Amino acid sequence: MSLKAMSLTNVRYLKMLAMLFCAISAAGESQPPADYFRQSCASCHTVGGGRLVGPDLKNVFQRKDRAWLTQFIVAPKSTIDSGDPYAAQLLKESNGVVMPTLGLDAARVQQLLDLIEAESKLPKSQFAGTQISNRPFTPRDVEAGRNLFTGAQPLKNGGPACVSCHTMRGLGGLSGGRLGPDLTLVYERLQGRKGMGAWLANPASPVMTPVFKKTPLHGDDILPLLAYFEDSAKKGGRDDTTARLNFLLIGMGGTVIGLVLLDGIWKRRFRGVRRQLVHKNRGEE
């Protein structure tokens, strides 16, 4: 291929990427602000429901003006790195968890701020968060949560079991999936029952959001899962590395057995062909 042809191909490729990016951006911009908040913000923030990983946003305009809030939402890490004292306070209160950069333009940010301002004036916002019982968890709750996690008990709304993508310490066997992160200490990372419950009710990861969009976790499933996650966090530790070793050994063993079988089949095939050639040559002689 000539350099000119390669250049034309690259231009067409870049144009296709630009068109795809514009299409994705347009789709995001067309999403109603309330839906966007529910999908991307509600796992860390409430409006009138108390603090989660991030602060409660009810009456946030009484704490900071719109210009500061816009700057922080657009570039949270840059605002923190600038030495802004209030941004530093937010970082401390969130135990060092930095708000991700969402790639929002100014128009979308203003829509979200308008939404937060309007919701703050309501007696109870639709984003007050999921109400999670504060009662102590029992061993029965932990066992029920483990069954939901592993799929021994199906989720009420028909979603996939957690073990399909995640692992936990002490599961045994192959110890679950590896598509998502290990969840042994996730209860601590999301700062307890309330933060973890908010995440389960509104998972904001690129993988979980589309998977659970039509089959969200039922409220009756969330509490036992929280019990299981809390119990795992109390016990400490990491995922069971023995399970990974078992997986590796099983894979290697299966490969060796497969090679041995193929070798035997191939040898028999080779001998059968050779025998016919020998007989044929002897016949010709």
pLDDT digits (tens, 9 = 90+) for 121-134: 999 999 988 778 88
Segment 234-267, tens digit of pLDDT: 887 554 545 555 555 566 767 777 777 776 666 6
Please say if the pLDDT value at position 4 is more than 70: no
**233 or 258: which carries more pLDDT confidence?**
233
| Tokens encoding 31 | 């999403």
Which one has a higher pLDDT value, 72 or 16? 72
Q: Are 125 and 45 in contact (CB under 8 A)?
A: no
Distance CA 56, CA 70 (A): 17
Q: Does residue 182 carry a pLDDT above 70?
A: yes
Whether the pLDDT of residue 274 is over 60: the answer is: no
Question: pTM of the predicted model, to two decimals?
Answer: 0.58
Residue 133: its pLDDT value, please? 82
Task: Pull the structure tokens for residue 211.
Answer: 């998977």
* Structure-model confidence comparison of residues 281 and 9, the more confident one: 281
Q: Which two tokens stand for residue 180?
A: 């998502």
Render pLDDT for 11-59 as a digit per residue (tens, 0 to 9).
443 444 444 334 444 444 568 999 899 888 888 899 998 888 889 999 9
C-alpha 155: how far from chain center: 18
CB atoms within 10 A of CB 151: 14
Q: Look over the chain and give the mean of its residue pLDDT values, rounded to a whole number.
A: 79
Residue 111 pLDDT greater than 70, yes or no: yes
Per-residue model confidence (pLDDT) at position 246: 56
